[in-house]
Structure 1
């Protein structure tokens, strides 16, 4: 696995409304992800639509136009409470378009950006935006625990952070390789200063060894494991789902494995995360 936890390329943005005509740069926008958020944002005149359904239709048109104009399109959840807090902190007027632009491209929040590639908004994309906000907050927490090493250029990263990141990626790889083909849910948690860090991911592992996982989920899982290893924090990881593939003559079985760490490494142990309990997993040292 390569290291993906990098700050997205510098860009300009639009508010949750009109596309910006900036040649050679990414188009970045915020999307209101619920009817309640749409109603809350009315006072700032973020959208001209009469209702949330119309807003989603307008937003889909805007994104399609942006893809034709800019090629690279990125979006993030436009969270009204986050926006109000941001404006209060920086002395901005929420009704001013410039305030929305500053909020959307605020560097500490760029971990919440997702590339838009034509997905249906009401399908998987809006839930991914919501998860990306939550994941972005966790990424910032993990970055603090590794002394800001997650988003530095490779040549400036502390070698100890690099080693922890590589160990975390290898740890996750061994869990997936050992599980074999199947459809899984992965969860991990690390008990850190300032609160628990958590991550989860949905995984499709094909019989030819190809693994499908959303990039942002992979980034978060490895970042949380990295922070735990770097700071030698206690943690747990759990992998459960359906093992098997069509190539195995339709033989499927339900599995659940767990590992725990006292801070220095993960070993098979009974664990429970998010209401899911698993028995000790396989030895990671036995996986090539």
Structure 2
């Protein structure tokens, strides 16, 4: 995490770009962002920032990111989670007050799924909440990876099993993505929230996505949310686990004379596939959805 917003200090991954002979504008800038006043106070002892309070810290961070976008080819950030950082330093016997410890934490390979590209979004209302979700999503993706490492009913034996498992994973991912597509196409134009949950060994897998489906057929969804939804659906289908999916929101468009209606549809799976069913997820109740087999 850079301490001086006027001179953004990239993490160690920038050195790799420079060593490859790329122009400075093609290097990557990676930083971590504290996402709450509580985390800011807990991190004071590590001297991560000179800001007087959390609001000032966010203003400094906004300046830092704007300067980084003018200087570097790629700007990425992840939630600087104080508990994760403390555990990381304890595991690797690092001093949390040393800048090198922060750099190692930010570019730690198992945590790369938590990195988000910064493209000038509003920091407080948009980007910071996405960073929090990306941290949770990263943990879920790691859980999914562990589930996909096993061949259902297999013993993890020879290389043939590994090749067969790779094919099965690809097929399950395609099936999950197609199920999600059919749910969105069947719903039609509107603004929706999608929820899904799979009951997996080691704990429930959950994913959420906000979706805008425009009249011209364009669907707006954050890439990281799409990846997580497909991963959770894939894991459930691959391991034949019970799960549920729910789509609710406002159906309609301005082109339809401004007519909107509130909808909530749900589907349930016993492991083999999803069928309409009454479901409650995250305190949202939904009636059985439309048949996915009727959607092209």
User: What is the TM-score with the length of structure 1 in the denominator?
Assistant: 0.90
SS at match of 1:229: helix
Out of 248, 263, 275, the residue aligned to residue 240 of structure 1 is 248
SS at match of 1:119: coil
Structure 1 residue 71 displacement after superposition: 2.2
Computing the radius of gyration over CA atoms, which structure comes out larger, 1 or 2?
2
Moved more, 16-25 or 167-176: 16-25
Contact persistence 1:19–1:62 (CA under 8 A): no
Q: 1:173 matched to which residue of 2?
A: 181
Unaligned runs of 5+ in 2: 16-23, 152-162
Q: 2:272 matched to which residue of 1?
A: 264
Residues 1:19 and 2:19 aligned together: no
Q: 1:140 matched to which residue of 2?
A: 142
CA RMSD across the alignment: 1.8
User: What is the TM-score with the length of structure 2 in the denominator?
Assistant: 0.88
Out of 69, 82, 85, the residue aligned to residue 84 of structure 2 is 82
**What is the alpha-carbon distance in structure 2 between the residues aligned to residue 203 and residue 84 of structure 1?**
35
SS at match of 1:158: helix
Greater RCO between the two (CA within 8 Å, min separation 6)?
Answer: 1
Moved more, 70-79 or 243-252: 243-252
- Runs of 4+ in structure 1 deviating by more than 6 angstroms, as ranges, are none
**What is the alpha-carbon distance in structure 1 between the residues aligned to residue 233 and residue 271 of structure 2?**
10
Instruction: Give the alignment of 1:126-275 within 5 angstroms.
Output: 126-147=128-149, 158-275=166-283
Structure 1 residue 48 displacement after superposition: 1.3
Moved more, 44-53 or 231-240: 44-53
**What is the alpha-carbon distance in structure 1 between the residues aligned to residue 102 and residue 164 of structure 2?**
32
After superposition, the C-alpha distances for 1:98-156 in whole angstroms (9 at most, x for unaligned) are 1111111111111111110111211211111111111111111111111199xxxxx99
